[in-house]
Structure 1
Amino acid sequence: MLPHMDPAGGLYWIIDDTGFPKKGKHSVGVARQYCGQLGKQDNCQVAVSLSVATEDASLPVSYRLYLPREWSDDPARRRKAGVPEEIEFSTKPEIATGQLREARQSGAPDGIVLADAGCGDDTSFREAVSELGLQYAVGIRSNTRVWARLLSLPSPPRGNRAGRVACCGARRDMSRSEIKDLASTLDASCYRNVIWREGTCAALSSRFAVVRVRASHRDYWRSTLRDEEWLLIEWPEGDPEPLKYWLSTLPPDTTLERMVHVAKMRWRIAAYIARRLQRCPLCSAPKIYLLTQ
């Protein structure tokens, strides 16, 4: 089917995790964990998927069941359920990284990697995507720290007991802050209303701003700061605080409209999953994931 998908408007590799509510405790991977279908913690199975999408279609190319530690670290439970010995515990970002590597090795056409904060917050995941030669636009949480040029100057660096500088590579014209604080320092003129697509009843739009930043994570182990990338902020008019944040390695000359359009393309997989769950009984959906790792 991939050859028949038109990539003219862009190609995307979309990472998603889907929860399937379950009763009992014997289905492989079932545990009390966050279930997106229910919007809360509950008894469910969770699968991580990779889909290839265009403006008009999406195709799942990899599914894998997430095995929580209470399963992976319980030999008796594994044997009873028939979990293969070679299956070890992996975090969801680690599963997603493996799926991306497999897709790359299989010759799948390159796409921009999209993921929510479950993966986007993971520095190792973002680094792995870049190492694969792929661009990304991934969700991050509001307490993510970044270096930017827009805040007050940083305090003088302090060395730790090992003699390392606490903020290696920091420049005097940059300071580090949580992105929610950075968002609040931006002038109102930095935010613009952007329409990203036509919805069922009306155009979908919101207020957005973009800033060039450098992600901050364990900087004391580094001699230089990380590469510059985009921070995209969505702050709807009238809301007391921003709604969403993304980090993206799209090119420096990317327009705000293009940035928003790309970040919002995860709706394609959400729509696909909703249609699939309408057509298939929930009780049978996890079996698909178990058969295709």
Structure 2
Amino acid sequence: MTIELDPMFTTDVAPDLSGFCRERLSPLTRSDQRRWGEVYIRGLITVPGRKSIRRISDYVVGWRADQCLQQFVNQSTWQWEPVRRNLAEYVTGLVVPKAWVVSEAVFPKNGASSVGVAKQYAPSAGRILNCQLGLTVQLAGDSASCPVNWRLLLPRCWDTDEPRRERAHVPTAQRHRPYWSYLLDAVDEMTVGWDLAPAPVLVDASDQGDVELLLRGLEDRGLRYLVQVAPHLPARPARPRAPGGRVPSVGELALLAVRPAASTLNWQTRTEARAATTRFVASPVPGEVETPRLVGTAVHRHRHRPPRHLLVQWTVGRSRPRATWLTNLNVARLPQLIDLVKLSARAGDHLGRMHDDVGLRHFEGRSFRGWHHHVTMSSIAYAYRLGQELHDRPDELLLRPYA
């Protein structure tokens, strides 16, 4: 079928979008899929307000093509993994990644039919919502970041609700898993399946209770990380048969952090009302235990595992730290480490922009594959916008990642 697009949305608004879509959607084997993919991406970029399939059809195609777009997004079986890999290669060329920022994405919903929806606690929102929860990995540089990989976090209640699973076309292998398992699975796909050069992994795990499994998983993969943790978290695993050795919490170590072995950096932030001094302190985590590392069927000791350090952010004059992180990065380069902290916050701003700018939260479908198709198309649409914004800022390409 030949799709005649409304000329209003093919020239003045996004003149080079067709070529961009051809490149980003080249992993799709069928020409009709590539064409409807361009229609959908064009709608996410150009349609004002809510970007529903009906509004995209009316604005971009100019005739009622709802069923064709529904088929492409919700029913078609095209694989999103190759498309995401292609997108990651493009973003890597656009913005030299200084970090892989792992973020939670919240999709508020009405009703209970959309895949993965439940009344559940959303850490990034700080409350219980009826929503879908997604995990995304963003390639982040100093000036921009873009999601390239996604996971839908299935609530436990979806494991046994076979009628809902069947209606939403949830694959049998897709079950509830802990957050760290989804995260490591996404990272494995990017490093092994896509062969991307890894950057430090940044993640806010301050609401997670099994952070040690996440840290060990990243360390076993030889990855560097900066993980925000809750103050009550044990600073290290309990030592087996240790003589009376109570493991201190991260918060307790934070209160003792300013000592000769610590690295400290202060700076002032000024607002119209006042100036505040912020202090970052990096200190070794004492008493770490070398543990076996599983490689294939043999057990080896990972003797060159970088030591863990505690990074603490204080607002001078306050009695408690503002935030705490565990990291295996080189704390001697404290200014660059703090740049990563700020980078994580800016990546969150980019993700927030996606909700309305490219309709990330506007998806109305209910199927598992439909959700993955939509977030993939939204990521491509956002990458296009970033490319336009960075067109006149080539200095971003000169940045170098944290080493």
Scaled to the shorter chain, the TM-score interval is: 0.7 to 0.9
The answer on 1:179 being equivalent to 2:264 is no
Which residue number corresponds to residue 211 of structure 1? 283
Percent identity between matched residues is 25
Work out which of the residue numbers 196, 199, 206 in structure 2 matches 1:108: 196
CA distance in 2, matches of 1:270, 1:41: 20
Which residue number corresponds to residue 267 of structure 1? 345
Preserved CA contact (<8 Å) 1:33 1:44: yes
Q: 1:100 to 1:185 in 2, by over 3 A?
A: same
User: 1:12 offset after TM fit, Å?
Assistant: 0.7
Which residue number corresponds to residue 267 of structure 2? 194
TM-score, normalised to structure 1's length?
Answer: 0.76
Q: Aligned letter for 1:272? A: H
CA distance in 1, matches of 2:141, 2:276: 19
Q: 1:216 to 1:70 in 2, by over 3 A?
A: farther
The answer on 1:165 being equivalent to 2:267 is no
User: 1:166 offset after TM fit, Å?
Assistant: 3.6
Which residue number corresponds to residue 160 of structure 1? none
**Greater RCO between the two (CA within 8 Å, min separation 6)?**
2
Work out which of the residue numbers 80, 84, 87 in structure 1 matches 2:174: 87
User: 1:139 offset after TM fit, Å?
Assistant: 0.5
Higher-Rg member (1/2): 2
Question: Helix, strand or coil for the counterpart of 2:235?
Answer: strand
The answer on 1:77 being equivalent to 2:149 is no
User: 1:132 offset after TM fit, Å?
Assistant: 2.0
Preserved CA contact (<8 Å) 1:206 1:237: yes
- Runs of at least 5 residues in structure 1 that lack an aligned partner in the other structure: 148-156, 158-163
Give the structure with the higher percent strand: 1
Question: Helix, strand or coil for the counterpart of 1:282?
Answer: helix
Which residue number corresponds to residue 240 of structure 1? 319
Q: Output aligned runs, 1:1-293, within 5 Å.
A: 1-7=90-96, 11-35=98-122, 38-105=125-192, 106-117=194-205, 118=207, 122-146=211-235, 165-166=241-242, 176-187=247-258, 192-194=265-267, 206-214=278-286, 228-251=307-330, 254-279=332-357, 280=359, 282-284=361-363, 289-291=371-373
Preserved CA contact (<8 Å) 1:27 1:81: yes
CA distance in 2, matches of 1:198, 1:137: 26
- Runs of at least 5 residues in structure 2 that lack an aligned partner in the other structure: 1-89, 292-300, 377-403
CA distance in 1, matches of 2:110, 2:209: 30
Q: Aligned letter for 1:268? A: R
Which residue number corresponds to residue 161 of structure 1? none
Q: 1:193 to 1:185 in 2, by over 3 A?
A: same
User: 1:187 offset after TM fit, Å?
Assistant: 4.4
CA distance in 1, matches of 2:308, 2:137: 24
Which residue number corresponds to residue 152 of structure 1? none
Task: Work out the number of aligned pairs and report it.
Answer: 265
**CA RMSD of superposed structures (Å):** 3.7
Q: 1:17 to 1:286 in 2, by over 3 A?
A: farther
Give the structure with the higher percent helix: 2
User: 1:38 offset after TM fit, Å?
Assistant: 4.0
Preserved CA contact (<8 Å) 1:234 1:245: yes
Question: Helix, strand or coil for the counterpart of 2:247?
Answer: strand
Question: Helix, strand or coil for the counterpart of 2:315?
Answer: coil
Q: 1:202 to 1:250 in 2, by over 3 A?
A: farther
User: 1:108 offset after TM fit, Å?
Assistant: 1.2
User: 1:23 offset after TM fit, Å?
Assistant: 1.3
Question: Helix, strand or coil for the counterpart of 2:308?
Answer: strand
User: 1:274 offset after TM fit, Å?
Assistant: 1.5
Q: Aligned letter for 1:193? A: N
Q: Aligned letter for 1:255? A: R
CA distance in 2, matches of 1:51, 1:32: 26
Q: Aligned letter for 2:131? A: C
Q: Aligned letter for 2:93? A: H
CA distance in 1, matches of 2:171, 2:249: 42
CA distance in 2, matches of 1:40, 1:139: 19
Q: Aligned letter for 1:53? A: A
Preserved CA contact (<8 Å) 2:136 2:150: yes
Q: Give CA deviations for 1:124-146 in whole Å, capped at 9, x if unaligned.
A: 21112122221101111101222
